[in-house]
């Protein structure tokens, strides 16, 4: 009987020991898991929402602010567009040629002091065209030749080796041309392709420095053919001080009489 009781007591004690041991092991593993979780949470890097940098809890707030400013500066520099290389090249003013103005040839465009003559004052031939056009750079040729300008300036331009001459009869009936280059009122200061001269861009110019009342008659003569094709097209530029310039064009061949291009009376 005593042996039976001892065995029952021993069995009961074993069950208690097993329950206690299981409980202690459960507590131990629970504590171990909690310790690991706490260690992971404590050592993890913290990052605030919206912040530019991840920082440790021990980093000073001022250092994080400086890092934020540096990052913003780097982004701004990256977004700044690079300077583009320019293909602009400077050009001397002397090389710039302004387009020459074009005007309709209307009598009303003349100065009130300039009165056109009657129709018979013009020698209108079939080969004379009173339209505005461009024929090379007139002003460039005159400037290159050193042409002068006065109250009335008359210029002639053509484009071959032929010798054309400009004539103008002034108020005192004196004719200004290559044989009488300087008269009482006017002067022929540029005469090209005369004699041995040969230019493909010839020009002639005569001017009256002062305003003198009277009649002015402009004529063009084909003096000689020097190998250029006839009839030779030409341009006459007439400028009266303070008014719009006039451009007249025509054609003339060697052997033809002088063509009267324009005639006006200055009051």
pLDDT at residue 7 in the model: 66
Q: 266, 211 in Cβ contact below 8 A?
A: yes
Q: 135, 157 in Cβ contact below 8 A?
A: yes
Our CA dihedral for 248, 249, 251, 252, rounded to 10 degrees, sits at: 40
pLDDT tens-digit series, residues 161-172: 999 999 999 999
Residue ranges, the chain, pLDDT below 50 = 47-58, 93-94, 101-135
pLDDT at residue 97 in the model: 52
Measured at the alpha carbon of residue 196, what is the angle toward residues 233 and 148, in degrees to the nearest 5? 65
pLDDT tens-digit series, residues 233-266: 999 999 988 888 899 989 999 999 999 988 888 8
Residue ranges per structural domain of the chain: 2-79, 101-266
pLDDT at residue 27 in the model: 84
**What are the Cα distances from residue 227, in Å, to 31, 55, 211?**
121, 95, 39
Instruction: Give the three-class secondary structure for 236.
Output: strand
Please state the pTM of the whole predicted model.
0.51
Q: 233, 249 in Cβ contact below 8 A?
A: yes
- Beta strand residue intervals within 37-161, DSSP E: 114-116, 128-129, 152-158
pLDDT at residue 21 in the model: 82
Instruction: Give the three-class secondary structure for 156.
Output: strand
Burial 89-104 (b: 16+ CB within 10 A, else e): eeeeeeeeeeeeeeee
The closest alpha carbon to 220, from 185, 201, 184, 248, belongs to: 248
Helix intervals (H) in the chain:
2-43, 61-79, 138-145
């Amino acid at each position: 009987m005593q042996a039976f009781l001892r065995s029952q007591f021993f069995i009961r004690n074993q069950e208690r020991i097993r329950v206690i041991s299981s409980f202690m092991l459960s507590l131990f593993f629970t504590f171990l898991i909690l310790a690991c979780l706490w260690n992971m949470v404590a050592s993890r890097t913290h990052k605030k929402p919206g912040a530019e940098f991840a920082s440790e809890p021990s980093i000073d707030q001022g250092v994080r602010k400086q890092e934020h400013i540096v990052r913003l500066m780097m982004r701004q520099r990256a977004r700044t567009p690079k300077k583009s290389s320019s293909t602009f090249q400077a050009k001397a003013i002397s090389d710039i040629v302004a387009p020459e103005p074009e005007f309709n040839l209307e009598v009303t465009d003349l100065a009130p002091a300039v009165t056109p003559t009657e129709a018979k004052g013009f020698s209108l031939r079939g080969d004379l065209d009173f339209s505005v056009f461009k024929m090379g750079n007139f002003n460039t040729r005159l400037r290159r030749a050193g042409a002068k300008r006065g109250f009335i300036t008359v210029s002639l331009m053509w484009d071959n080796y032929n010798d054309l001459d400009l004539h103008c009869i002034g108020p005192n009936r004196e004719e200004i041309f290559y044989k009488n280059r300087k008269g009482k009122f006017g002067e022929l200061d540029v005469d090209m392709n005369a004699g041995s001269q040969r230019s493909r861009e010839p020009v002639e110019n005569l001017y009256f420095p002062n305003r003198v009342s009277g009649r002015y008659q402009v004529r063009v003569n084909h003096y000689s053919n020097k190998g250029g094709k006839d009839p030779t097209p030409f341009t006459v530029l007439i400028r009266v001080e303070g008014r719009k310039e006039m451009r007249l064009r025509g054609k003339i061949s060697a052997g033809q009489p002088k063509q009267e291009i324009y005639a006006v009376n200055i009051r």
